[in-house]
Structure 1
Amino acid sequence: MPTSPLTFVSQTCAFSVGTSQSWTNGRCSHDYRLNKAIAHELDTDKDIASYRLICQATNDAIDADNKSFWRAKFREKFALKEGSSNSSLQGLYQNRAKQLRRGTGYGFFRGHKKRELDVIEVLRDLIIETFQGPFEIDEYDRPFCKNQTCLINFVLNSKILLNNRRAPQPSRGEPAHVNPMLAAIKLMCSHFLFELEGAKHDVFAIEESQRAVYLSTNAAPMYQGLNLTDVNMEWVLHCLNFFRHHMMNEEVDTLFENMNALSVTQKPSAWREPLRRGAYPLGKHWKGTYAYLDAKEVVKIRKLHPDQVGAEFFVDKNVEEGKIQSLELDFVQDGHRLRWPTVFEDRLRSLRDTTTPPVKTQGRSKPKMVTEDPKLKNIQFVGHGNDLDDDFNAIGWLNPLPPQAGIPGWQRITFMKHFMDDFDQVDRDNLWAYEGVVLPGGRIILGRWWFASDPVDFNNDYNGPFILWAVDPEPELTDDSEDEEVSC
């Protein structure tokens, strides 16, 4: 029968005392250094707590010496936030351990309950503080941080993403919408989903996500607020769930086989550097896909009453065929600006200010432009790829966004996907506008496309969802074989 942690450490302590030592008033007098060495070998937080309670000597081994034990323990598990005292690290470590342990039993359906919010705040801090200090390199030469390991373990052990049931009806007084902070945390934790071996990716209420991603732009705007700088987290989460359903569920028989065939470095992956505010160039190499319905189906799915959602089956095209595309992006540097057609700006509104909050004046608010900080300036890019065996080009912009739910690093991306006609001119009858959200870290983009050859009525635009993810450059194939000599 397994020995409990408390019994184990008690026996260890008693053994270390030996026959010549004794217990006096609940205190053992054996070597302090041995106690501390034992404490550092304990694997779980529960064992540490148990060991600390055995006697005054074991308590001193953990809490004495200016609480240096807690700094060492914190650095073992988390990225160290510089400038923190040992006492503050003790409190931070203990709170994180408690919340992460408790959080494995919560549903995280909407994230409004106090106990869920306590866990969400810990997860947010882990995300914000990634790569603060030394980091490690994995077997694929990719940087990773201890905080990311904690996040992965929480995803595997909790219900925050790998839930096993549909969300229940809101309880009395509970808002029906998803807390934007919870949605932001789910989006960030979703970076890890695509490399989890053996995980069961049940996406419940997929029919609700399917309807959401085909709603008109005005019915489900991607950006909200006075300056259109607040990300509509719930819509973006619907978009993520929609594609996760197709990409990770073998039973759906759409994108799973092709996703499964990709090498690890060609699948969506986690961010590899500290999160930073402002606009910053992204990687060059991307993969992705999009989905669409026929125009009549789009009209039909939008008219469905919420109670009717799921009553009729709609087949998402493009993903149904398992299509994954490649795209290369090149970002303009040193303030150089490429030609940006007026019709592109008219359709996309790429150059609107996304960084400056309004300044209060008497009776009204007006934006105050701030352009001195280079991180707050828009970045232009061009791209090229292949769709339905036709080469296409793209030109667009990255706009910096303020922190969302306390997390920095979000960007707005817009670009016009276009094809060239027989005279090597832009085919104005085949324009497709893309608007999306770059998740912090710059490795995943989720968003909406729409047909943009004609002036757009955003109450009735023909649109659909897309996803892009950054990948490592694939090694060039070389032929190292040598001609063999043939002897006669």
Structure 2
Amino acid sequence: MDRNRPSTTTAFNRLPIELNKTIAHCLETDKDIYAFRRICRATDNACDGDNHSFWRAKFREKYALKAGTPNNVLKAQYLKRGKWLNRSTTYPFHKGQERREIKALAVLRDLIAESFQGSVQYDEYGRARCPNQTQLVNFIMNSKIVFGGRRPPSDAQKLNPALAATKLMCAHFLFDLDGPRQNVLAVEESQIAVYAPSNVAPLFTGQYKTDVNMEWVLHSLDLFRCHMTNVELATLYSTMSDLPVSQKPSAWRGLLKHGCYPLSKHWKGTYTFLEQNDIDKLRDVFYNNKSSKKNDLFFVDGNVEEGKIQSLELDFTQDGDMSWPEIFEDRLHSLRETGPPRTRAQHRSGFESPNQKHKNIHFVGKGEDLNDNFFARGWLNALPTQCGIPGWQRITFMKHFVEGDEELNDDNLWAYEGVVLPGGRIILGRWWYASGNVNLDDDYNGPFIFWAVEEPELEDEEDSDDDH
């Protein structure tokens, strides 16, 4: 007898279809559901009958449900997701180029891109959460996409940008997790990558410089994650552990949307740097091909070795004061064209695409770094969908200081260019020294990270009042 053909003689054939469907709903795992369907024709009908209503209910339990999706489509999606999420827990996810990895990444991409379709749930801290995010966390914990595995092979195979983009989105959940030590494999390679000259490793590529350099951004994330979650390094681990949940990096809280949109007001973040001599040594060996014993080189990232993080407050606006110094634009190219240039006819007619008017958002900011107050002024630019995931933005701003009557000190300018991850909760990018003549073939630079936080808690203010 064919094992996959439902029987017509088992006891389940004598039960009402409603009872068989109730039994199916009580099964906790997909494996049990698939086994139950194969028992007999009655159990198969309980799952597939009544216009596949069973699968709609099961889909709603595990995933975000987009209104209007037919039940038969939901069944196919449920079975596909269960298949690849289960199979791919054993994959190494080194470069993401194998066929089976590509299949798994497509499922993870859909979970990310389709999150917050339908109703919204809330976690124990009152933050909006989505069933798709729960499935992503389960996959992170049970697979090797972030934890476990072995050191990636040093071959010529390129990293699949879709794998890097998926890992970047998974990073939103890494600071809430308990359990595995978050060892970052080959972190020295990430350190080498993030201090590359800007022209060697541009943050944006493509004809109109709108394609995110996912590999560089992932290297930046891995470097900071190593400092933040590795207790042995004694850098940022204690500082991050002492932060309340509301002040740690967190996941996106709504639909991922296209275009340019304002971000949160309150942020925390940090950056790393190397002394100029160390950057010169690193680049001579790894980018200028000068002979040296690579394994003997060891560089200590500055700033984070003291566990320092900083606060940043941003004020976004589309109207009002649009002052943008020429030197800022010369260094950052914040308002560069991000699409095909308009034709002469379009210029004469005053043509403006639907997204032209609000494609850039101006903002100002202020913060404190090394006990010095600084100011920031910059722009947000919309980016196209990357690797099937919408919601990416480019952020550029100039970090500057003032003297006397708040005159701009152009001898102490620091340019920041970064990628806002979809959902607007994490920014990763590069800073560089922007005063004087800037040569992007050999600029003094390093990586930075910012994450959105809730409003600063009032406890510190209350304590200071008590002290007085």
* TM-score, structure 2 as length reference: 0.92
Partner Cα separation in structure 1 for residue 83 and residue 113 of structure 2: 19
Which residue identity is paired with 1:379?
I
**SS of the residue aligned with 2:261?**
coil
What is the CA distance between 1:164 and its match in structure 2? 3.5
User: Percent identity over the alignment?
Assistant: 56
1:309 CA displacement: 4.4
1:44 paired to 2:26: no
**Whole-Å Cα distance in 2 between the matches of residues 245 and 465 of structure 1?**
14
329, 344, 368: which is aligned to 1:345? 329
**1:35-67, CA deviations, whole angstroms, 9 ceiling, x for partnerless residues?**
110100100000000111111111111111111
What SS does the aligned partner of 1:64 have? helix
Q: Report the equivalent of 2:297.
A: 312
| Alpha-carbon spacing, 1:372–1:427, altered in 2? closer, same or farther (3 Å) | same
Distance change in 2, residues 1:93/1:357 (3 Å): farther
Q: Secondary structure at the match of 1:450?
A: strand
Deviation at 1:304, TM superposition (A): 1.7
* 1:380 is the counterpart of 2:362: yes
Residues in 2 aligned to 1:422 and 1:27: alpha-carbon distance in whole angstroms = 85
Contact residue 347 and residue 455 of structure 1 kept, 8 A: no
2:282 maps to 1:301: yes
Q: Which amino acid in structure 2 is aligned with residue 345 of structure 1?
A: E
Q: Could you tell me how far apart the structure 2 residues matched to 1:451 and 1:50 are?
A: 62
- Could you say which residue in structure 2 is the equivalent of 1:59? 44
Counterpart of 1:414 in 2: which secondary structure?
strand
Contact 2:8 / 2:41 at 8 angstroms: preserved in 1?
Answer: no
Counterpart amino acid of residue 102 in structure 1: R
Q: Deviations over 1:318-362 (max 9, x none)?
A: 0011001011000013x33421000010011010122x257899x
Instruction: Please state whether the residue corresponding to 1:195 is helix, strand or coil.
Output: coil
Distance in 2 between residues matched to 1:479 and 1:448, nearest whole Å: 37
CA distance in 1, matches of 2:405, 2:342: 49
Secondary structure, in 3 states, of the residue corresponding to 1:181? helix
1:265 Cα offset (Å): 1.0
Asked whether the equivalents of residues 8 and 40 of structure 2 are also in contact (C-alpha less than 8 Å), the reply is no
| Structure 2 match to 1:451 | 433
Match of 1:275 among 250, 256, 262: 256
Letter in 2 for 1:29: R
CA displacement at 1:68 relative to structure 2: 0.5
**Greater CA radius of gyration, 1 or 2?**
1
Match of 2:70 among 85, 108, 127: 85
Aligned to 2:159: 178
Deviations 1:187-222 (A, max 9, x none): 001110011012211111111100100000001000
CA drift of 1:311 comes to: 3.0
| Residue 159 (str. 1) matches residue 144 (str. 2) | yes
Of 187, 199, 213, which aligns to 2:194? 213
The 2-side partners of 1:294 and 1:411 are apart by 30
CA distance 1:32–1:351, change in 2 (3 Å): same
* 1:424 and 2:406 correspond: yes
The counterpart of 2:55, out of the listed 70, 86, 108, is 70
CA distance 1:391–1:76, change in 2 (3 Å): same
- Aligned residues of 1:208 and 1:309 also touching (Cα < 8 A): no
2:395 is aligned to 413
Q: Give the direction of change, closer, same or farther, for the CA distance of 1:464–1:88 in structure 2 (3 Å limit).
A: same
Cα distance, 1:310 vs structure 2: 4.2
Is the 8 Å Cα contact of residues 285 and 473 (structure 1) preserved in structure 2? yes
Q: C-alpha distance in 1, partners of 2:149/2:306?
A: 28
Secondary structure of the structure 2 residue equivalent to 1:394: strand
In the aligned structure 1, how far is the partner of 2:380 from the partner of 2:190?
A: 26
1:369 CA displacement: 7.9
Question: Which segments of structure 1 move beyond 6 Å, counting only runs of 4 or more?
Answer: 358-361
Question: Partner residue of 1:364?
Answer: none
Superposed displacement of residue 176, structure 1? 1.8
Q: Relative to 1, partners in 2 of residues 1:96 and 1:359: Cα closer, same or farther, differing over 3 Å?
A: farther
Q: Partner of 1:486 in structure 2? A: none
2:20 to 35, 50, 67: 35
State the Cα deviation string for residues 252-296 of structure 1 (Å, max 9, x = none): 110000000001111100000100011100000000000000111
The SS at the match of 1:304 is helix
Q: Which residue of 2 aligns with 1:13?
A: none
Mapped partners of 1:211, 1:133: distance in 2: 43
- Could you say what secondary structure the match of 2:118 adopts? coil
- Structure 1 residue aligned with 2:455, among 462, 470, 473? 473
The structural deviation recorded for 1:370 is 4.7
Please state whether the residue corresponding to 1:287 is helix, strand or coil: strand
Alignment correspondent of 1:222 = 203
> Which deviates the most, 98-107 or 27-36?
27-36
TM-score using structure 1 length: 0.88
C-alpha distance in structure 1 between counterparts of 2:343 and 2:95, whole Å:
33
Alpha-carbon distance, 1:375 to partner: 7.5
| 1:292 to 1:432, Cα distance in 2 relative to 1, 3 A | same
CA contact (8 A) 2:247 2:453 kept: yes
State whether structure 2 residue 92 is matched by structure 1 residue 107. Answer: yes
CA–CA separation in structure 1 for the residues paired with 2:411 and 2:225: 32
What is the CA-CA distance between 1:26 and the residue it aligns to?
Answer: 8.3
- Displacement of 1:30 in angstroms is 1.4
**How has the CA–CA distance of structure 1 residues 163 and 311 changed in structure 2, closer, same or farther, with 3 Å as cutoff?**
farther
Q: Structure 1 residues 448, 479: CA separation in 2 closer, same or farther (over 3 Å shift)? A: closer
Q: What is the alpha-carbon distance in structure 1 between the residues aligned to residue 270 and residue 99 of structure 2?
A: 38
Alignment of 1:244 with 2:225, yes or no, is yes
Q: CA deviation at 1:373?
A: 2.4
Pick from 311, 323, 336 the counterpart of residue 326 of structure 1: 311
Q: Deviations over 1:420-447 (max 9, x none)?
A: 1134211111100000000000000000
Aligned residues: 452
Does structure 2 retain, via aligned residues, the 8 Å contact 1:207–1:310? no
- Compared CA separation, residues 386 and 462, structure 1 to 2 (3 A): same
Deviations 1:60-79 (A, max 9, x none): 11111111100000000000
Partner Cα separation in structure 2 for residue 403 and residue 369 of structure 1: 24
Identify the residue that residue 124 of structure 1 maps to in structure 2.
109
- Tell me the equivalent position of 2:347: none
Cα shift readout 1:120-148 (whole Å, capped 9, x = no counterpart): 00000000001010010112111000000
Instruction: Decide whether aligned partners of structure 1 residues 100 and 370 sit closer, same or farther in structure 2, where only a CA change above 3 A counts.
Output: farther
5+ residue gaps in structure 2?
345-349
User: CA separation of 1:236/1:430 partners in 2, compared to 1, >3 Å: closer, same or farther?
Assistant: same
Does structure 1 residue 390 correspond to structure 2 residue 372?
Answer: yes
